[in-house]
Structure formats: structure tokens, C-alpha cells
Amino acid sequence: MRPFAAIVLIFTLVIPFLSFGADAGQSQAGLAGYSPRSAQSEREWETKFRAIPDPANLREYMRRLSARPHHVGSPYDKDNAEWILAHFKEWGLDAHIEQFDVLFPTPKIRVLEMVAPTKFTAKLDEPVLSVDPTSNQKPEQLPTYNAYSIDGDVTAPLVFVNYGLPEDYEKLDRLGISVKGAIVIAKYYHSWRGVKPKVAAEHGAIGCLIYSEPKDDGYTVDNVFPAGPMRPADGVQRGSVMDFASVSPGDPLTPGVGATPDAKRLAVKDAKSITKIPVLPISYGDAQPLLAALAGPMAPEEWRGSLPIPYHVGPGPAQVHLKVAFNWDIKPVYDVIAKIPGSIAPDEWIIRGNHHDAWVNGAEDPISAQVALLEEARSLGLLLKQGWRPRRTIVYCAWDGEEPMLLGSTEWVEAHADELRQHAAVYINTDGNDRGVLNMNGSHSLEKFINGVAREIEDPETKLTVWQRAQMNAIAEAQSVEDKKEVRQRGDLRIGALGSGTDFTGFIDHIGVATLDLGYGGEDEQGIYHSIYDDFYWYTHFSDTDFVYGRALSQTVGTSVIRLADAEVLPFDFVNQADTVGRYMKNLQKLLAEKQEQIRETNQELDEGLFKATLDPRRPTVAPPREEVPPHLNFAPMENAVESLNRSAKHYQEALAKKQVNLGDDAVTAKLGDLNRMLIESERRLTNADGLPRRPWYKHLLYAPGVYTGYGVKTLPGVREGIEQKRYAEADQEIVRVAKALEDEAALVEAAAKRLE
Ligand SMILES: [Zn+2]
């Protein structure tokens, strides 16, 4: 499903002849983890590989896979899985389908009506458009709904809650408005959708509507579909509202284990990740009459959208009746798994995945990147026929059931957890692809590696390398002169940390597999996400219409896979990892200081009588509560651990550089022994078997989805959420746990460096 991409691409001027130090001559230099001789043959294979992917194939695969709706449990979902399987086999890969049986609710009853002060019944329907040939497949389309909403039948006054984030409820408190016993209406975006009903229920609401505001993905942005790419008045964003971030993703009935036929299953009523209150997504066509019927204070200026109405908060007088009921069925998901056995190190796995299921036709999400995966697989098959033999085992995965909440990938990870802990070296994910800049996110031990790959790929529009284009974009986007300077001078572009929202979650968060998530985008706006209009017609009119960015994605990910699979020493680097963790720590120290400062200021304003003095009696507000100033936390253990990691990371980098020339020598290789094993272990060291506080499924101590952001990442999550949620004693304990993991990591990296000497 992949979070709503919000990359602002500002391209004023591109000067291809400027030389940027770190990039110059890079492609002729050695390859990390390769001896000079093997680097040369590796480059030859990679060059052959990159010449194969063909935009015409990508287009044809997309036409086929998005021709009909293919959500979990639909006939075409299974048909697609079998089609993908047949192609993997045809291309010479050893492939099979792995099935899991998961809880997948579909709607039985959906009613939304305003019962006072006037009557209005919501349409809850996306109309057929005559120019769009797949929009008329009504019998096969899932109705508009939010999966894993609980059944419910509620009537209550309506309250508008902006994006429905915790801070929006603080604003409502200041306006003296409670949502207790109310139905809330929230706008989509600015948090993952499932956070909205969660926070609403925590504040006492009994129902939740989520609507697509035209200011965010409708006519304020551009023309609406089919005249333009944006969401039309009756377009609706489907999507999962499973509370995966505070519990776990995957099948709600089999948390922590694979949903195999003999797995022990919870009763639906005991599943913890189903919402507490009923939820329904609606279009702005259906939302407008409800919002227009609200009175009460005007919504704060930044809450208002672009519908031609005054945005009031309520509560009421609009009274809303919301009734939803679902078929709580067990449905099959079909993961298609293909293997290329490693010739020298078959027990070290490089895994690559993208989901194949969609909410409806899903040309953009996920097929635009699934087709890149398929073209990579075809190209690898051709290399095998020409005699290429990867050193490590390569596993290609076309996941099912991603949209409801990472069902196929999570169940596969849980079912194979022991093997993955043993063998999984790297997981590379994609989920959707468009025109624009290469987006690189992942484990920071792979930051240097993926920067190296990005230097090899040509950007289809500018003919710069995609690395150069990403660097230019990062300079354009940097907020301060210092940040711009850093982008120009640092050898590597910084990659983002991983939150969630797509299939890498089980790999990184549950097992601790070093992970990358990649995709191109940022140039085209889109308002068809999770609607019936995300289809072949839309994609071939408004996105990567000639599939050249699809080819670039195949080239980028395929090159990464081959390079990771063939390296004598896995190309992990810990200098960037140590640097990044150090930045996260400083960022936390700053967060705490700012919080202390802000609470001191509010308390002072309360003492001064500022809130009474500035009160407009016609628009009364409530003063904020007085709060205790947060205590100082002891960051010393983490500061020491970051320094240890820094030292051993530099030591390892130097040791590898010295040894690199001799890597091809058999005697040297034999002495390396379990060096690659140690490198594989490096990401596991950043996990803790007990997991994060109150969510033991999440075991990584550096990265996790936020309990109140969903897809959005929280770095050093135990400490950060401790501070944000005012659990200061817990934050102090979490600092100690993170420090211990970093010391263990430093010791492992140090041992790896010694192995090279
Ligand atoms: Zn997706």
C-alpha cells in the first residue's frame, strides 16, 4: 500500500556538467566486498543485466495483472498468482505458491445517513466512467470500506476533528469540545488512517468517518479524474484500519505464528488488532452535506479544506447514523515464491519482494512495481542461461494480502522465522512506482551500498545518474544552508528510516533483517489511491506512461540483488550506521529540551494570566492544563555506545579496504570463515527478544512504526515514544536497552574487523 508519497520535487535548473566530488569516477572504482578480479566480472554481468528490462514488457504485464479487480479472496487474485508462478517457471526459476488462510472481512451492510437537522443518505459508491474501461467491473469490485473496522450501529452528533491526530484533540480541548459519545469525521492523510479511529475511541467517540478532502488530493491540487489525475467528488480511499502498530500486522487470528491450516486461531472477538469503534471511509461528495450541517465554533484556520462551506467543528446539530457489518471470513492468500540457489553460499539469502494483491485493479498500487520485479526475474533467468551463477541464494516473492495489512508477507515471515533468522542477509522491498526521484529508505548499514548502486543507474528524463538527480533534489529540498552544504559534501546521500505500510515490516521489525525499500516518484500528483480509478487507464495517462521509470526500477533493484548476491564479503558498512544513530540520539536530546522549554513557557503564561487576558468572550477557549516539566534523562550509556560503534565501524572499514585486493585468493577466503555470518548477524544485534514496551512483536530497537503515526517511523522508538507519551522512567530504561544493543553491535563489528586482519 505504501504511504502517500509527498516528495516535493523542485527542479529549477539541472546542470549535468557540474562535477560532484563523491560521484566522479565512481563507476570505475572498486566494488566494496569484491576482489579486483571478481569486481570486473561482476560489472560485466550487471551491465548485461541492465540492458535486458524492456518497457514494452512492463506495460504488457500491467495490462494483464490489473485487467480485473484482484483483492484477497477474489478469483482474479488467484489467477494472477498462478500467472506469476507460470512466468517464474517459464523464466527458469524454481517457484511455488505458498498459501495461508487469514481473516479477511468484507462488507455486508454499509449505511450512512444524516437524520437531523435535515435528511441525507450517503451514496457510498464510485461511479462508472465511460472513458475508463475497467471502472465498470462492478460485480467484482469491493465496495468502499475500511477493513478490520468492527461491526457497529450508532447514531450520534457529528464532530469535525481535522486529521484526527492526538494534537487535534488537544485543540478541541482548548475549544471546550468533547467527542465523548459523538461520531467524528476526520480528513485522510497526515497519519496512517487506522490511527484516526484509534485516537477517536481513546477520546470516547463511538464512530469514525474518514473523508478525502479536495484540498489534499482533489480539485485544489489539479483537475479531477478523468480530466486529470486527482480524486473526483465520489472517489473513495479504501484501506485497512487494523491496529497493527500497537499489536502486530498480519492475520489478527494468528499473531506471531504463520496462518497455516493447523495454526491455533483466536476467536474474532478476541483479536486485539480490530478497531474499537465502527469506521467508514467516504468521498467529499458524501462528506460535504454532513460538514455543512455542523455548527459550533469555526474550525481553526489550518483545519479548513476547500469545500465551498464554512468549516465548523460541531458537535451537531448534524446527527449521523452509521451502520456497518462485515462477513468475518477466512480467505486464502497466495504468496508466489521463486528461488535461485546460491552456488557457493546457498545458506545466505538475498530476498526481494513486492505485493500482487490490490484493493481494486491497482495499476499503480502495487502493479507498477510488481511488473518491475517480474522483469528483474525474467532478466535474471536470461543471465542464468548465459552462465551466471550467484554466490548466494536469491529469493523472489510476489506477496498476496498486503493491502488488508501485510498478510502474505507477515505470515510467511512468521512461518519461516527460524530459517530467516539463520539465512536472511538482506530484504529489498518495493510497492508502487511513478516518475521522478529515487526514494531510498532502509537499514543504515546498507546506506553506502545503495548509494553505490544509485550511481550506476541512468535517470530516464535528465540522463544524469539517479544518484545525481537525488542529490540535486536533496539540495533543493534542504531547509538550511548547512543542510545543503552537507548534501553537497557528504559522500553518501542519507537514506530514510523505515516505518511501515508495506511488506518489509516483518523482515526488519520482527526478525531484524537488513532491509531496503525503493521506488521512484514525486513528479506526478495522484488522487486515485485505493479507488476503482487506480487502473491501467489512469496509469497510462497520468503516471510513468512509457514505463521508463519502471525499467529504471528493475535496473536499480536488480543491480542491488545481483551485487549483494555475488559479493565475496557482504557490502555492509557501519560508519554511516554509527553516524545515523548518533544523529537520532542528538535529535532525542533536542526533543526533550524543547518539551521542557515549551512546558515551562505554558506554565509561565498560566501564572501571568495570559489566557484570561487574551480571551475573546464571543469565542471562548479553555486554557491548557498546567504540566510537570519533564525530568532530565541519562543519555550517557547511549553516548558511550555510539562512540564504541563509531570506533569499531571505522576499524572495520579500514580492515576491509586493506583486505579487499586479496579477497579472490582462496586461502584468504578460507580464513574469512564466518565473516559473512557475522555481517548477517549485525542487524539482528539491534533487536531485543522482548520487543518494544507493550508491543513485543516489534523487536528492532532503532526503527519502528509509531503507535500514533502508523506508517510514519519512530527512530529509537522506545526512548522517543517514552518522551512523547510522558513515560520518562521508561524512556530512561529504554536508553539503557538501546545502549546495550549498540555495545553488542560494536563488539560484533570489532570482531569482524579482527577477522579481516
Ligand atoms: Zn501497495
Instruction: Count CA atoms closer than 13 A to 336's CA, side-chain side.
Output: 24
Pick from 394, 373, 552: nearest CA to 460: 552
Residue type, 736: V
CA of 392 to the centre of ligand 1 (A): 28
Q: Give me the mean pLDDT over the 371-400 stretch.
A: 98
Alpha carbon of 402 to ligand 1 centroid (Å): 7
Please say if the pLDDT value at position 85 is more than 80.
yes
pLDDT of residue 9: 37
CA–centroid distance, 1 to ligand 1, in Å, is 3
443 Cα to the center of ligand 1, angstroms: 20
Q: Across the strands, what pairs with 398?
A: 336, 354
Cα 264 to averaged position of ligand 1 atoms, centre (Å) = 28
* 713-740 pLDDT, tens digit each: 999 999 999 999 999 999 999 999 999 9
CA of 293 to the centre of ligand 1 (A): 36
At 415-424, the pLDDT tens digits run 999 999 999 9
Long-range contacts of 684-688 (CB under 8 A, 24+ apart): 684/421, 684/511, 684/512, 685/512, 685/741, 685/744, 685/745, 685/748, 686/512, 686/741, 686/742, 686/745, 687/511, 687/512, 687/741, 688/737, 688/741
What is the pLDDT confidence band of residue 661, given thresholds at 50, 70 and 90? confident
Cα 521 to averaged position of ligand 1 atoms, centre (Å): 14
| pLDDT for 671 beyond 90 | no
Cα-flanking dihedrals φ and ψ of residue 65, to 5°?
A: -75, -25
Rounded distance from Cα 480 to ligand 1 centre (Å): 33
Compute the distance from residue 362 Cα to the ligand 1 centre, in Å.
8
Give me the pLDDT at residue 711, please: 83
CA of 82 to the centre of ligand 1 (A): 20
How remote is the CA of residue 451 from the centroid of ligand 1, in Å?
24
Judge contact between 295 and 63, C-beta under 8 A.
no
In the reported structure, the alpha carbon of residue 2 is separated from the centroid of ligand 1 by a whole-number distance in angstroms of 5
What's the 373 CA to ligand 1 centre distance in angstroms? 14
Question: Based on C-alpha coordinates, what's the Rg of the chain?
Answer: 26
Q: What pLDDT is attached to residue 315? A: 98
Query: How far, in Å, is the centroid of ligand 1 from the Cα of 193?
Result: 15
Please list the alpha-helical segments (H only) found in 186-265.
195-202, 214-217
Largest CA distance in the chain: 85
The pLDDT tens digits for 186-200 are: 999 999 999 999 999
Query: Among residues 115, 156, 144, which one has the least CA distance to residue 359?
Result: 144
- How many A from CA of 71 to the centre of ligand 1? 12
**607 C-alpha to ligand 1 centroid (Å):** 51
CA–centroid distance, residue 401 to ligand 1 (Å): 10
Q: What is the pLDDT of residue 251?
A: 98
Grid cell, residue 65, equals 495483472
**Closest among 530, 698, 509 to 147, alpha carbons compared:** 530
The rounded Å distance from CA 176 to ligand 1 centre is 39
Half-sphere exposure at residue 145, Cβ-oriented, CA atoms within 13 angstroms? 25
Under the banding of pLDDT at 50, 70 and 90, the label for residue 486 is: very high
pLDDT (0 to 100) of residue 328: 98
With a cut of 70, say whether residue 306 has pLDDT above it: yes
21-35, 105-119, 712-726: least confident range? 21-35
* E-assigned strand segments in 653-722: 703-705, 713-715
Rounded to the nearest whole angstrom, what is the distance from the C-alpha of residue 431 to the centroid of ligand 1?
A: 5
Ligand 1 centre and the CA of 3: distance in Å? Answer: 8
Residue 12 pLDDT greater than 70, yes or no: no
Segment 8-33 mean pLDDT: 47
Instruction: Quote the ligand 1 centre to 97 CA distance (angstroms).
Output: 20
Query: For residue 673, is pLDDT > 80?
Result: no
| Phi, psi (deg, nearest 5) at residue 596 | -60, -45
Residue in the block written with cell 528524463: 461
Residue 143 alpha carbon to ligand 1 centre in Å: 18
230 CA distance to ligand 1 centroid (A)?
Answer: 18
Residue 152: other Cβ atoms inside 10 A? 18
pLDDT given for residue 29 in this prediction: 59
Distance from residue 366's CA to the centre of ligand 1 (Å): 4
What percent of the chain stands above pLDDT 90? 93
Examine the pLDDT at 259 and tell me if it is beyond 90. yes
Q: Distance from the CA of 359 to the center of ligand 1, in angstroms?
A: 9
Distance 450 CA to ligand 1 centre (A): 22
pTM greater than 0.75: yes
Q: Rounded to the nearest whole angstrom, what is the distance from the C-alpha of residue 430 to the centroid of ligand 1?
A: 8
Q: How far is the CA of 7 from the centre of ligand 1 (A)?
A: 17
Per residue in 48-69, pLDDT (tens digit) is 999 999 999 999 999 999 999 9
Q: What is the pLDDT of residues 598-622, one digit of tens each?
A: 999 999 999 999 999 999 999 999 9
Spatial CA neighbour of 332 closest among 148, 71, 102, 142: 102
Q: What is the pLDDT of residue 6?
A: 41
pLDDT tens digits for range 199-225: 999 999 999 999 999 999 999 999 999
Does residue 117 have a cis bond before it (omega within 30 degrees)?
yes
Least confident range of 176-185, 314-323, 400-409, 661-670: 661-670
- Do residues 119 and 253 make contact, with C-beta atoms less than 8 angstroms apart? no
Residue 406 Cα to ligand 1 midpoint, Å, equals: 9
Ligand 1 center to 354 CA (angstroms): 8
Q: Which pLDDT value is given to residue 26?
A: 41
Q: Give 30's pLDDT tier (boundaries 50, 70, 90).
A: confident
Residue 557 has pLDDT above 70, yes or no: yes
pLDDT at 244: 95
Cα 358 to ligand 1 centroid, rounded to whole Å: 7
88-112 pLDDT tens trace: 999 999 999 999 999 999 999 999 9
Q: What share of the chain is helix, strand, coil (3-state, %, to 5)?
A: 40, 20, 40
Span 630-644, average pLDDT: 98
CA 23 to ligand 1 center in whole angstroms? 32
Q: Give the percent of the chain with pLDDT over 70.
A: 96
CA of 520 to the centre of ligand 1 (A): 14
> How far apart are the CA of 756 and the centre of ligand 1, in A?
41
* d(CA 397, ligand 1 centre) in Å: 14
Confidence of residue 672 (pLDDT cuts 50, 70, 90): confident
CA dist 747 and 750 (Å) reads 5
Phi, psi of 503 (to 5 degrees): -70, -5
Centroid of ligand 1 to alpha carbon of 433 (angstroms): 10
> How many angstroms is it from 152 CA to the middle of ligand 1?
28
Q: How far is the CA of 691 from the centre of ligand 1 (A)?
A: 26
The pLDDT value given to residue 662: 81
The model's confidence at residue 666, banded by pLDDT at 50, 70 and 90, is confident
Q: Decide if pLDDT at 16 tops 60.
A: no
**Which pLDDT does position 689 carry in this prediction?**
97
Distance separating alpha carbons of residues 365 and 433, to the nearest angstrom: 8
**Taking the CA of residue 318 as centre, how many other CA atoms within 13 Å lie in the half-sphere pointing to its CB?**
28
- Give CA–CA dist 382/379, Å, rounded: 5
- Mean per-residue pLDDT of the chain: 95
Q: 403: CA distance to ligand 1 center in Å?
A: 6
* Ligand 1 center from residue 570 Cα (angstroms): 29
657 pLDDT band, cuts 50/70/90, is very high
The pLDDT score that the predictor gives to residue 665 is: 76
CA of 453 from ligand 1 middle (Å) equals: 24
CA of 524 to the centre of ligand 1 (A): 17
Cell digits for 236? 473513495
Distance 542 CA to ligand 1 centre (A): 18
How far is ligand 1, taken at its centre, from the CA of residue 66, in Å? 13
Cα dist. 594→51, 310, 335, 478, 553 in Å? 52, 35, 46, 22, 41
Could you report the per-residue pLDDT of 128-166, keeping only the tens digit for each? 999 999 999 999 999 999 999 999 999 999 999 999 999
Q: Is residue 279 over pLDDT 90?
A: yes
Q: How far is the CA of 527 from the centre of ligand 1 (A)?
A: 15
pLDDT band at 2 (very low <50, low <70, confident <90, very high): low
